[in-house]
Amino acid sequence: MTDPSAAVRPACDTGVPLTQALRAEIAPLIERLAAGAGPERLSEHSFTNLLLFRRAHGYRYVAGELPHILGSTYDGVPHLMPLVAPRPDVLEALRHAVPAGGCFYPIADWQLPVAAGAGCEARSLAADADYLYPAANFLHYRGALLHKKRNPMRRLLARHTLHAVPYAAPLRAAAREVLAAWMQDKGLERGGADELECLQALDAAEELGLAGHLHCVDGVPAGFVLGERLAAGVYVIRFAKGRAGHTGIYPYMFHHFCAAAGESVSWLNFEQDLGRPNLRRTKQSYKPGRLLPKWRLWPSGTAPPARDAGPQAQQIEGPLPSRAASCG
């Protein structure tokens, strides 16, 4: 559910561009890295995510004893994503590989204690944080805030006939029509927002490990959702598109995603808001349970002035508590 900016130049020419052929090598490294993270697994801890958004971030893979990904954040900061636990010895060994002006990123809350003693400064931006929601929010829409989602959904169901079909290749053309309509509704030019990434996902959903439904209103394709399983009961929504004019379609699609999954869904991750006010308001309107910070670890003496770094910063010279503060 991101809205990436235009393609960026790779942080450097080291390594190789990401391709589907590298899944067998990189995906197990990520699974090992994020094992046990559960709902706190970051949306970037996925080969599918890295592959889909390789253009927006200029991702490159560097193999070896300390494999890692090089790229650039949405705000243009070069970064290195370790594909092994970010222990102090690992960060020290990889320090020379961090692109000029860059940092280690993204580092999750649960990884910070591992990195303690590395002599880095940890900072996070609210714009980077993943939005994490209890699935109950979408299954029931309880409470005054979420009633604003439930009531339009109920009106949509009362006035129209809705039908959902599990997404598969034969539905590609219909989903592309929805995406084109969404682009037009938003006043976006071809190739804008995350259109190219979404088209790739629609073309290769099964290969990418994405699943969801195409939703029809009165027999007309009106929206679709594609999500990815991150852990047992934990899913990240990669793409959600709906046609304008069907008020309540998004709350319904998220409700249906949770209710129709092949397992009990406990959490949904809506990824980051990129610091965009409209996107932030929309994601906050679904009442997130918490935000998952994505820390930037700056090697000693390399961090930019604190006023440019965002709302949170802390040194990680010594032991840390088991959980760092969430950013909001």
Residues 123 and 137 in one domain: no
Flag whether 283 is in a domain: yes
Residues 103 and 137 in one domain: no
Flag whether 181 is in a domain: yes
Residues 118 and 67 in one domain: yes
Flag whether 48 is in a domain: yes
Range of the domain at 278: 130-290
Condensed to tens digits (0 to 9), the pLDDT of residues 27-54 reads: 999 999 999 999 999 999 999 999 999 9
pLDDT band at 192 (very low <50, low <70, confident <90, very high): confident
Give the tokens for residue 129: 């944080």
Residues 138 and 282 in one domain: yes
Flag whether 9 is in a domain: no
At residue 324, the pLDDT reads 31
Distance from the Cα of residue 84 to its chain's centroid: 20
Condensed to tens digits (0 to 9), the pLDDT of residues 230-282 reads: 999 999 999 999 999 999 999 999 999 999 998 999 999 999 999 999 999 99
Flag whether 114 is in a domain: yes
Residues 239 and 299 in one domain: no
Flag whether 50 is in a domain: yes
CATH number at residue 215: 3.40.630.30
CB 274 within 8 A of CB 127: yes
In the chain, where does DSSP find H-type helix? 23-34, 47-52, 54-57, 88-94, 112-115, 136-140, 144-159, 172-185, 195-203, 205-208, 249-260, 277-284
Residues 267 and 140 in one domain: yes
3-state helix, strand, coil in the chain (%, to 5): 35, 25, 40
